[in-house]
Amino acid sequence: MDKGKKEPVILITNDDGITAPGIKNLIEAVKDLGKVVVVAPDKPQSGMGHAITIGVPLRLHKVNFFEGIEAYQCTGTPVDCVKLAVDKVLHHKPDICLSGINHGANHSINVIYSGTMSAAVEAATSLEREELQPNRPSSRPSEASGGILFPRLAANR
């Protein structure tokens, strides 16, 4: 990274949980493109849509699951993760939020129920920036190539 350029902050989340293989692959794909911070659910939250947690306390715990990456697990939904990341972890909006890489398919009517898609929508509406949702057709979507998915981010290195 050029010393004159500010390193972009990349927020990563998902709906499959912080230990899902897809999130590890996504981190690998973008870790050299900026400061990566992960805030993801502590357990699978598929089908939660744009739900937020009300009536029970949200818990956010720092974890050491990914070498050299600041990461937190949250007891809430994917949307809760985005909101907590912006307000309590980063204390500002990230430059980009990536939601995925998803274990299952997010297409057709499924996008209405998808926690992964809802996290991306929450980020897009709260960040007012173009967001990427890295799901693409593949028999193993968690092995998607970051170089293909993030060319604009790579160009800013």
pLDDT, residue 141, reads 47
pLDDT tens-digit map of 82-122: 999 999 999 988 999 999 887 767 677 778 888 888 898 88
Whether the model clears a pTM of 0.85, i.e. scores above it, the answer is: no
pLDDT, residue 64, reads 97
Q: Which residues of the chain have pLDDT under 70?
A: 1-3, 104, 106, 127-157
Contacts 24+ apart (CB under 8 A), 153-157: 153/8, 153/10, 153/30, 153/33, 153/34, 153/96, 154/33, 156/5, 156/8, 156/33, 157/1, 157/2, 157/32, 157/33
Domain boundaries, the chain: 9-155
pLDDT, residue 151, reads 55
The CATH architecture to which 9-155 belongs is: 3-Layer(aba) Sandwich (3.40)
